[in-house]
Structure formats: C-alpha cells, structure tokens
Structure 1
Amino acid sequence: MEMKKVYMDYSATTYTKPEVLEEMIPYFTEKFANPSSKFYSISQEPIAAINNARERVAKAINASSDEIFFTAGGSEADNWAIKGVAFANRKKGNHIITTNIEHHAVLYVCQYLEKQGFEVTYLPVDEQGLIKIEDFKNAIKDTTILTTIMFANNEVAAIQPIKEIGKICKERGVIFHTDAVQAIGHIEVDVKEMNIDLLSIAAHKFYGPKGIGALYIRKGIKLDNLIHGGGQEKGRRASTENVPGIIGMGKAIELAVSHLHEEKERLTNLREKLIKGVMERIPYTKLNGPTGENRLPGSANFSFIGLEGEALLLSLDFEGIYASTGSACASGSLDPSHVLLALGLPHELAHGSLRLSMGSGSTEEEVDYVLEVLPKIVERLRNMSPLWEDFVKKGEK
C-alpha cells in the first residue's frame, strides 16, 4: 500500500480552518489598533469585533457574553479558575475536590495549593476512567469550596457525568469548575443546564488559533485575579487583547457548534471502525477508556502487550502516521501515563499505549491505511521486544 500522510493527533491540536484565518488576517494588518486606546475612532472596530467574538463563545455554551473572559489558553484558564476561587474563598474553607486523571494544568495547580495550606481530595476512577458519583458525594465536607473535574479526558476520552456533578455542587453550595478543553466544539455543553460555575476553553482544540482561550465565570462567582496590570477584560485579566486570536476563536467555535451533530456522528462511525479493526487484527490489545456514549467521538486509546510506546510512535511516523502516547504536554516524559495507571493498568502496559484521535480532515481511507500499517508494526516490534519475549515465556500467549 502506498505511504500516505495521516494525522491522527487531533486531541493534541487541530489546524486553523481557512475561514477562521480569513477573519483574523485584517486584525494583523489594517485593523491593528489597540482596543484599549478608546479615545480614537480606529479602536472602535477591534472593540466591536471582540464583543462579537465574546457573544459567539457565550452562545456556544449557553452563557451570557459578560461571563466570558479571554485568556492565553486552557492552562491559564485552569490556573485562574482554581487559584482564583481558592484564594478568594479561603475564609469559607480550604478543601478542593478533583480527580487523579486531570490534565497537569489542574493537577499541578492542586499540588501547588496543597503547599499553601489547602486540602485536596483526588477522586479515583474506575477501569473506564469514570468517577463514581457516590465517591464524589462522600468526599464533600463543610470546608469544601471548589470541585474541579474535567469534562472529557484528553488521553482516554472518558466523558464524566458533568450534569450530575453540577447538580450536587449546586445543592451543597460548592463552586464547580470543569476543564472542558477537549469537549467544546465536539459534544454538547450547556453551562446553565449542567450547573457549571467556571469552564475552561482552548481555541486550538476546535480549529482555532493557538495561544487563545477563555474562562467562563458565572455571574456572582468570587475569584481573585491571576494576572495583574491593566484594566482589560473588565479589570479581571490584564494584558493587551490578542485581537486576531479572539476573532479566530469566535469564528472557530461558531463553526464547530454549527456542525457539531453531523461531525459527532461521522467521527463516532470512524472511531468504531478503527476500534473494531484494531481489536480484530492485533491480538493481546487492550482498549483503554469507556465504550459508547461516554467516549469522545473521535478518540481511541490502545495498549499493546509487549511494546514501548515511543518505538511505536517512531515506526508509525516512518509510515506517515502521526499519533501520540497521550497528552502532548507530557510527551517529553518517559514515565507511564498517570491516567492509564489510574485506570489500573500495570506499568508495562501503560508504557505501550497509543492514542489515535481523529477530526475534521479524517477519512475512512485514512482509517483503512492505519489498519493496514499498524498490525505489521506491532508484530515487527513485538518480535524485537524483550517484554514480549518474557510474556511468551510465561506461557501467557
């Protein structure tokens, strides 16, 4: 089969759609004025464009435009939400609830806050990557001020029971933040229906530009500023507005939501074809994460007994297939995924993981190519692997 170029890492980042770039370009060139320079007329167009983008983002999650605050990305939004609530509400309590499969932009913030005197409960997940609602209810204390649980996991694509979590938080008077970076533009998100108080967004996950994100802050939620300086974003987030990025984010989220249902169905079909093909063609393979509706439409994560993930990625790259072992933010690490370990996988199986995530440019032909190439690579690497040899010697094969 002829070698193709197949991008299978949409969970790490997406390309910027041409329609998005087209709306951004004028704000790099002729409409370049600083929107904070409000005393001359040429600033009025960037101001109007930012307001329009804010409304587009708000509409996508059923919020009000004055509840949307632009950031430099999802990690900043996570940091702001968690630190902001913790420090603004520490007289009420010092307890935070999260999970042990969060993105490091949440986990590392929680670990930082523990050093500042906060108490953090890290909820376990089951073998599919989902929390148990009873565990969550039992974790809430009188001192609990914040729950931060991701909407959908970046590695195993597990979608948490966000609506149930939001309902419990509202009943118990606990502020609820969700890192929705992987969810927005791919599955339905409604902050009102789901009782979400704070929600993090990153544009580059839904065909917008990198370096721009947003934090939704429900009216009435008290939190400290993360970045101090000028009076941008109603005095809550200093820094000259990234006007082209904001414009691009607004256009990208509008496009993503307008095509959400048909794209969700298309990617779910591709995902199921991929999963079925891999599981049928490659023996001693484990599908990580949930099945069916609790999984993001375009993502699948596999572990192959007897393999190292890095060797697998290099071999796939040689064949023109670009994939991941998990979070792009942690791809320089040789440690096994904390998410897969939390699911109960042993170290050797967690090391041999592969995340294949699809998106707007993915096709059936690309899935067919992966299913043609991947089994041969796995077989070749297993024949060279001491891990596989040990597995065979133990008579487990």
Structure 2
Amino acid sequence: MPPRVYLDWNATAPLRPEARQAMIDAMDVSGNPSSVHAEGRRAKALIEKARGTIATAFGADGADIVFTSGSTEGAALALEGRGLHGAEIEHDAVAAWVETDLAVAPDGTVTVPDPEHSTLQNANSETGVIQTLPEGLAVCDATQSWGKVPLAFNWMGCTMALASAHKLGGPKGIGALILKRGTDLAARIRGGGQEMGRRSGTENVIGIAGFAAAAEAAMRDLDAGTWDRVEKFRNILESGIVAAAPEVILPGKDSSRLPNTACFAVPGWKGETQVMQMDLAGFAISAGSACSSGKVRASRVLTAMGYDDAVASSAIRVSLGPDTTEEEIGRFIDAWTAQYRKFRQRAA
C-alpha cells in the first residue's frame, strides 16, 4: 500500500529536524529561567538567544517578542478589550475579539478604512489570499505567512503581529506576539511577571528553543526559493482538478495567494465527505480551518466572500509543503478524480 500523503500543512507543518534537535538539547537545561543561580541563568540565556534568533528571522529587530502558547493566546492578549474592527474572514481566534464589520470583496480582499483601530490577517488559512497591509494597522495575524512569503515585521507597518511555531515546522503549543517597543499592553495572565510583565508563567524553554530553530530554518528555505517549487506543484494540482471537474470553483484564485494553498469546491459535494474519502485513500486534507475541535461546517470565509451555502459547505483545502512531491500531487489528482466521478454518477 502506498505511503500516506500529508497535504494539510496550513493546519500544522511537520516538525523540522532542526527544531527536534534543538528541543532535545534544551531538555538538558534544568534550571528555572527566573532563578538567579547558574542553572537558572543558563535557561534564561537560552530563551534570550532564541528571542534574538526569532527577531532576526521575522525582521523584528528592535521590537518586543512576547512568548505565548500560540496565536490564539496571542490574539487574546493583543485584542481583548481594545474594541477593534476586523473582517468575517479572520480566524476564529481573532474574530472572537473584534467587530467583524469590514467589507470583504468577492476575491477575498478586505477594505480597511481605519487601520489604527483594525486587525487584518496577512494571509487566509483557507483560501491563501494575501492582503495588502495598510500602514498603521493595529494588529496583523501573520500566522500563516511566516516562512512562506517574504515578510518582515519592521516593514509591515503594524503595531502588533501574531506568530505560531507549528505553522512553520516548530513544536505545537508555543508562539509569539510581536509588538513595537513601547506599546502599551496589559497582561492577561498575572503572576511572576515573566515576558516583561506581559505574560506570566514559567517559560516553555523546550518549546521556545524549537520555535527559534524552526524559524531560522524556515527563512533559509524561503531564501533558497523552496516555496517557488511548492507553488509550481500547487498550480499543477489546480490544473488537474479543473481538467477533471470543469464546474469546480476556486475561491480567491485570481488574488495574490500563499504559494502552497489550493481551495476548491464542487457545489453539492460536501467538504466533510471529501475529507473522509481522501483520508481513506491515504491523503490528509481539510475542509476549512483545522482549529475547531474537529467540527466541519460551511466555511465562514467563503460565505463572507459571497458564496452560497452549496459552495461554502463543499470547499476543501489542500495545502502543500516543501516535502511535497510532484508524484504525490499526481496521486492525489487521480484519487480525487475517482471519487468525483462516483459523486457525479450518484448525482445523475
């Protein structure tokens, strides 16, 4: 039986070997970073070295980097109580804290009339659509963008940005809120005053070490043009799907997109059904965001873009990574096409 093919990189990227090794090494650092003895200072030094590595990788030199458990916590820390505006296409972790009243165009782009009081994702996790960031934006959710497209916090023009390690090959459960130095930010988790008083709790030393190693390796891949090859394979995938199913809809296809993301729908063929069929065929894909405790529902993103429920409930997302091969893409096209033909026969 052929090996399984992982095509859900936007949900989580496989752990990079550099991150794994950095985490193994960090396990030997036994001290608490808040302790003043030699063991504690060693742990603290590891954290600060990682903070510097991430700042360099993300073009955030001179900014503050607050380690969190991931972008969901970072969003709460950045957005709670601020009364910001956002769009319905924002990730649930962001939409929960903002007024989702910004206009979304059919191509997935968002109009932001008041950047200083708004939040905007840099790239959508479902469609891959990349936004033009307005100068002075309060908060940018860059979770899906780091390591996939050229991006630097210092030229993004925003006050705060979100990052999550597992999206770029780091461990799950560690992320960062990046903010311009001097930004007023009230702590949501109080206690020992770690992370410059903005996020208390003993730091996840092992996760932070893995995060830094993954960020550094991800930027090397980006500089080497790795994602250009990924984009080529994504385009081959979409061409194969369109050839097999001429009625297929590709939301956001004509917009600037992440190089690895393909979102498509055959109206009436439920996304949940396709995910299960592809899983049985040996392919891991998703229907919408993977951060909903296993729930599959009509895509809120596609609904905001103006698609009806027949399309929004039928969309799937296939997201590639640097390890994806052209042979795997061919196998996926064949497997999906076989299931599509069965769907058409049942619908006839």
TM range (shorter): over 0.9
Larger Rg, first or second structure (1 or 2): 1
1:192 is paired with a residue of what secondary structure?
Answer: helix
Q: Deviations over 1:112-153 (max 9, x none)?
A: xxxxxxxx3521211221113xxx22xx3xxx8521111100
Residue number in structure 2 paired with 1:328: 290
- Once the two structures are TM-superposed, the CA of residue 241 in structure 1 deviates from its matched residue by 0.4
Higher helix share: 1
Residues 306 and 382 in structure 1, CA contact (< 8 A), matched pair in contact too:
no
The within-5 A match list for 1:61-80 is 61-64=58-61, 67-80=64-77
Structure 1 pair 283–328 and aligned structure 2 pair: CA distance change class (3 A): same
Paired position in structure 2 for 1:89: none
For residues 97-176 of structure 1, the aligned pairs below 5 Å read 97-110=85-98, 120=99, 122-132=101-111, 136-137=112-113, 140=114, 146-162=117-133, 165=134, 167=135, 169=136, 176=138
Equivalent residue number for residue 8 of structure 2: 9
Alpha-carbon contact 1:70-1:214 (below 8 Å) kept:
yes
1:270 corresponds to:
233
CA contact (8 A) 1:325 1:331 kept: no
Aligned ranges for residues 281-320 of structure 1 at < 5 Å? 281-291=244-254, 294-320=256-282
- SS for the counterpart of 1:359 is coil
Contact 1:60/1:254 (8 A) holds in 2: yes
Change in Cα spacing, 1:60 to 1:78, as seen in structure 2 (3 Å) is same
SS at match of 1:75: helix
Per the TM alignment, residue 155 of structure 1 is displaced from its structure 2 partner at its CA by 0.5
CA–CA separation in structure 1 for the residues paired with 2:97 and 2:67: 20
Q: Aligned to 2:302, what secondary structure does the other structure show? A: helix
Residue 310 of structure 1 and its aligned partner are, at CA, apart by 1.4
Shift of 1:4: 3.8
| 2:197 is the counterpart of 1:240 | no
**How far apart in 2 are the matches of 1:24 and 1:96?**
37
Match of 1:197 in 2: 159
Write the letter of the residue equivalent to 1:17.
Answer: R
> Is contact 1:3-1:319 (8 Å) kept?
no
TM-score (norm 1): 0.84
CA distance in 2, matches of 1:241, 1:291: 43
Match of 1:53 in 2: 50
Secondary structure of the residue aligned to 2:93 is: helix
> Considering only aligned residues, what root-mean-square deviation do their CA atoms show, in Å?
1.7
C-alpha distance in 2, partners of 1:266/1:47?
39
Q: Report the TM-score, using the length of structure 2 for normalisation.
A: 0.95
Q: 1:256 to 1:25 in 2, by over 3 A?
A: same
SS for the counterpart of 1:300 is: strand
Q: Secondary structure at the match of 1:287?
A: coil
Work out whether residues 55 and 65 of structure 1, in 8 Å CA contact, stay in contact via their aligned partners in 2.
no
Q: Which consecutive unaligned segments of at least 5 residues does structure 1 have?
A: 87-94, 111-119, 170-174, 390-397
Following the alignment from structure 1 to structure 2, what is the Cα–Cα distance between the partners of residues 194 and 12?
24
How far residue 258 of structure 1 moved from its aligned partner, in angstroms, is: 1.4
| C-alpha separation in 2, matches of 1:42 and 1:268 | 46
Give the SS at the match of 2:153. coil
- Residue 366 of structure 1 and its aligned partner are, at CA, apart by 0.6
Q: Name the structure 1 match of 2:149.
A: 187
SS of residue paired to 1:239: coil
Q: Which residue of 2 aligns with 1:394?
A: none
The CA distance in 2 between the partners of 1:82 and 1:181, in whole Å, is 15
Equivalent of residue 219 in structure 1, options 169, 181, 185: 181
Does the CA-based 8 Å contact 1:57-1:65 persist in structure 2? no
Q: Secondary structure at 1:152's aligned position in 2?
A: coil
Bigger Cα displacement from structure 2, 58-67 vs 248-257: 58-67
Rounded Cα–Cα distance in structure 2 between residues aligned with 1:334 and 1:24: 33
Percent identical across equivalent pairs?
Answer: 34
Deviations 1:251-277 (A, max 9, x none): 100000111041221111111111111
Moved more, 54-63 or 318-327: 54-63
- Kept in 2, the 8 Å contact 1:201–1:214? The answer is yes
The aligned length equals: 347
CA distance in 2 between counterparts of 1:221 and 1:44 reads 27
Which structure 2 segments of 5+ residues have no match? none
- Paired residues of 1:8 and 1:323 also in contact (CA < 8 A): yes
Rounded to whole Å, the distance in 1 between the matches of 2:293 and 2:343 is 20
Aligned to 1:116: none
Letter in 2 for 1:285: V
SS at match of 2:154: coil
Pairwise CA distance, 1:66: 5.5
Residue 33 of structure 2: aligned partner: 35
For 1:379-394, list aligned pairs within 5 A: 379-384=341-346, 388-389=347-348
- 1:295-322 CA-partner distances (Å, limit 9, x unpaired): 0010100001230111111111111011
Whether contact under 8 Å (1:4, 1:319) holds in the other structure is no
C-alpha contact (below 8 Å) 1:307/1:382 kept by paired residues: no
Deviations 1:67-102 (A, max 9, x none): 111000110011111116x1xxxxxxxx52211100
